[in-house]
């Protein structure tokens, strides 16, 4: 399973995120205010916070538990050394399509 449709784009209001269970993983999909989609692991590596429930601006989501911030395009923590996996995501005929084979996160040494 390299690509999978997880639901309707319309199920996520602009400026919000939702969590989807895909192949045993929890993935947060965000619909940014400009209508674009981003997808990252749904669980904050700090203390397991639900990232899809966090506040999001133009690109960054804030973990609702302890305020850690992650770039939704890369998965990297802003100003920190943690990261989550990011996924390629697109809208195809109104459906959210995740590509599970390509991690678009940069690796830190």
Burial of 82 per CB tally in 10 Å (0-12, 13-18, 19+): middle
Q: Is it the case that residue 14 has pLDDT exceeding 50?
A: yes
- pTM of the predicted model over 0.85: yes
Q: Break the chain into its structural domains and give their ranges.
A: 3-103
User: Model confidence at 48, in pLDDT bands (50, 70, 90)?
Assistant: very high
What dotted CATH number matches 3-103?
Answer: 2.102.10.10
| Closest among 8, 18, 13, 14 to 94, alpha carbons compared | 8
The per-residue pLDDT for 1 is: 59
Tens digits of per-residue pLDDT, 51-75? 999 999 989 999 999 999 999 999 9
């Amino acid at each position: 399973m390299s690509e999978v449709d997880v639901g309707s784009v319309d199920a996520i209001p602009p400026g919000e995120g939702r969590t989807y269970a895909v192949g045993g993983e929890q993935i947060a999909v965000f619909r940014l205010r400009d209508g674009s989609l981003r997808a990252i692991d749904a669980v904050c590596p700090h203390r397991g916070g639900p990232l899809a429930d966090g506040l999001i601006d133009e690109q960054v989501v804030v973990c609702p538990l302890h305020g850690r911030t992650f770039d939704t395009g890369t998965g990297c923590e802003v100003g920190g050394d943690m990261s989550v996996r990011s996924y390629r995501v697109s809208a195809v005929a109104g459906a959210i399509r995740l590509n599970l084979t390509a991690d678009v996160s940069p690796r830190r040494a």
